[in-house]
Amino acid sequence: MPKERFIVIGAVAAGMSAASRARRLKPDMEIIGFEKTGAISWAACGMPYLIADKVKSADNLVHYDVKFFKERRNIDVLLYHEVKKIFPPQKTVLVGNIKTGEEKEYTYDKLLIATGARPLVPPIKGIELKGVFTLRALQEGISIKEYIKTNSPRNGLIIGAGYIGMEMAEAFAAMGIKVTMVEKMPNVLGTMDDEITQVVEEELKRNDVTLIKSSGVTEFQGNGSISRVLTDNGLTIDADIALIGAGIRPNSEIAKDVGIELGKTGAIKVNERMETNIPDIYAAGDCAEAYHLILGRNVYMPLGTTANKQGRVAGENASGGNASFGGIVGTAVFKTFDLEVGRTGITEKEAKAEGIDYVSNIIQDESRAFYYPDRQEIKVKLVANKKTGMLLGAQMAGHEGIAKRVDVFATAITDKMTARQIGQLDLGYAPPFSPVYDPILIAADELQKKLNV
């Protein structure tokens, strides 16, 4: 009797988490990962730091290589192998070897789609010029790093003022490149509220980044390689390197093609076991949706942590276990230059869009005791349900002490704590770490004053 086989499509965060988890639970299972690129199990979030030369080599971003998975975990990973089609009735996948052109069918007992996402590339004239990049595959990160090294660009253009744009602005600046950001929307950072994006814009300005909002790039110009861009509001901007950070789209077509249901977001619909609507086929990571505990529905919010967790759940269930993905509360943090920014739950804009009866408040405080050196300003914006007092969201920005405070709010939101309860939390205090009333407590107390519950 042949061994049970678990096939994983895509061998990065979700895929290799699933494979490793399945191996731990089922030592006998055959596990194969197909990866269409040459890189597996690597840290995508590290690319801005690779480009900024804080991380010297792309190898430093790789957790484990093919050899490790084969020898230590008995997992086969085939590089440059692309799964072209799934045949659910036959429980097979058609796999193409990108290097040889050879195709082969593999049977599966359990299948995980962890195909990730791809950058959204607007159809801009001149996009084929050298020096115009997207940033998704490891090879793209390596290419940008090499391009900077070889060409020493002086003016960098970034399309899109989201997380990646913000991290790449810092990276370009670290390499001596003067940065211009062009954002189609009237505000940076998507749904984040204005009081917080204001702080981010100040940080960009302080670091000599030119931000052009409500504007799109219409053309890249140059002789072989990019030298300037044109915008839809008539600007001509010098740029000898450009990064398109205009968002990503889930690689969900392979699923859709065989009748696997997608959500409204275009990503693969999954239940809490990471199962799709077709038996024995799971999906996880940047190609899949995630259940949002505050919104009460699936959303598309592709992040590395979620990919890892979802992959693990899928791997556990694919190997006979019974795991559930706990859902997300929309937590995200990033750093741009010296500023830390974070959010969890929903913003005021989102609460409004959802038609929720909410109250919100913003406070400014400091990261350390009022007499302790090097304290930094911290802004905290909270949103709560007006009827129940339950915290719905928190946003923070400041030059230190943001990321883990956001996690306190994420924990409180997950457990449906009210502003009143949060204001009473017994948080740690020592002068180097916070004021005697942590900004978390102040923010909750001040919000509570607007509540009648």
Active site (catalytic) residues: 45
The one among 2, 234, 373, 452 contacting its own copies by CB under 8 A: 373
Q: Which span (111-119, 354-362, 384-392, 401-409) binds its own copies, by CB under 8 A?
A: 401-409
- C-alpha of 87 from chain center: 30
Rounded Cα gap, residues 79 and 66, in angstroms: 8
Task: Report in angstroms how near the CB of residue 53 gets to its own copies at its nearest.
Answer: 10
- Within positions 157 to 176, which residues make up the interface with its own copies, using CB under 8 A? 167
Phi, psi values for residue 35, rounded to 5°: -130, 120
Phi, psi values for residue 89, rounded to 5°: -60, -40
Task: Report in angstroms how near the CB of residue 121 gets to its own copies at its nearest.
Answer: 24
Position 339 contacts its own copies (CB under 8 A): no
Task: Report in angstroms how near the CB of residue 90 gets to its own copies at its nearest.
Answer: 35
Task: Report in angstroms how near the CB of residue 125 gets to its own copies at its nearest.
Answer: 34
Q: Which span (76-84, 110-118, 137-145, 300-308) binds its own copies, by CB under 8 A?
A: 300-308
The one among 45, 94, 230, 278 contacting its own copies by CB under 8 A: 45
Task: Report in angstroms how near the CB of residue 407 gets to its own copies at its nearest.
Answer: 5
Helices (H), ranges, 207-303:
253-256
Rounded Cα gap, residues 403 and 419, in angstroms: 20
Q: Which span (107-115, 206-214, 224-232, 367-375) binds its own copies, by CB under 8 A?
A: 367-375
Q: What per-residue string of b and e applies to 415-441 under the rule 16 or more CB within 10 Å gives b?
A: eebbbbbbbeeeeeeeeeebbeebbbb
User: What's the angle, vertex CA 141, arms to CA 136 and CA 147, rounded to 5?
Assistant: 135
Phi, psi values for residue 364, rounded to 5°: -120, 135
Cβ-based nearer residue to its own copies, 111 or 444: 444
Position 408 contacts its own copies (CB under 8 A): yes
Task: Report in angstroms how near the CB of residue 195 gets to its own copies at its nearest.
Answer: 19
Let me know how long the chain is.
453
The one among 369, 376, 446, 450 contacting its own copies by CB under 8 A: 369
Amino acid at 60: N
The one among 173, 356, 412, 419 contacting its own copies by CB under 8 A: 412
User: What's the angle, vertex CA 436, arms to CA 433 and CA 438, rounded to 5?
Assistant: 65
Q: Which span (94-102, 107-115, 223-231, 333-341) binds its own copies, by CB under 8 A?
A: 333-341
Q: Which span (90-98, 196-204, 334-342, 351-359) binds its own copies, by CB under 8 A?
A: 334-342
For tokens 């988890």, name the residue.
Answer: 21
Q: What DSSP string describes 149-195? A: HHH--SEEEEE--SHHHHHHHHHHHHTT-EEEEE-SSSSSSTT--HH
- Report in angstroms the alpha-carbon separations of 271 from 13, 29, 224, 292: 19, 24, 48, 12
Edge to edge, the sheet with strand 76-79 lists: 76-79, 30-35, 5-9, 110-113, 281-283
Helices (H), ranges, 252-402:
253-256, 304-318, 348-354
What SS3 state is found at 303? Answer: coil
Position 453 contacts its own copies (CB under 8 A): no
Task: Report in angstroms how near the CB of residue 13 gets to its own copies at its nearest.
Answer: 7
Task: Report in angstroms how near the CB of residue 344 gets to its own copies at its nearest.
Answer: 7
Position 142 contacts its own copies (CB under 8 A): no
Q: Which span (109-117, 196-204, 254-262, 301-309) binds its own copies, by CB under 8 A?
A: 301-309
Position 353 contacts its own copies (CB under 8 A): no
The one among 121, 174, 425, 442 contacting its own copies by CB under 8 A: 425
Position 46 contacts its own copies (CB under 8 A): yes
Position 440 contacts its own copies (CB under 8 A): yes
Q: Binding residues for its own copies, per CB under 8 A?
A: 13, 43, 45-46, 49, 54-55, 60-61, 63, 167, 293, 303-306, 308-309, 325-335, 340, 342, 344, 369-373, 401, 403-408, 410-412, 414-415, 417, 421-422, 424-434, 436-438, 440
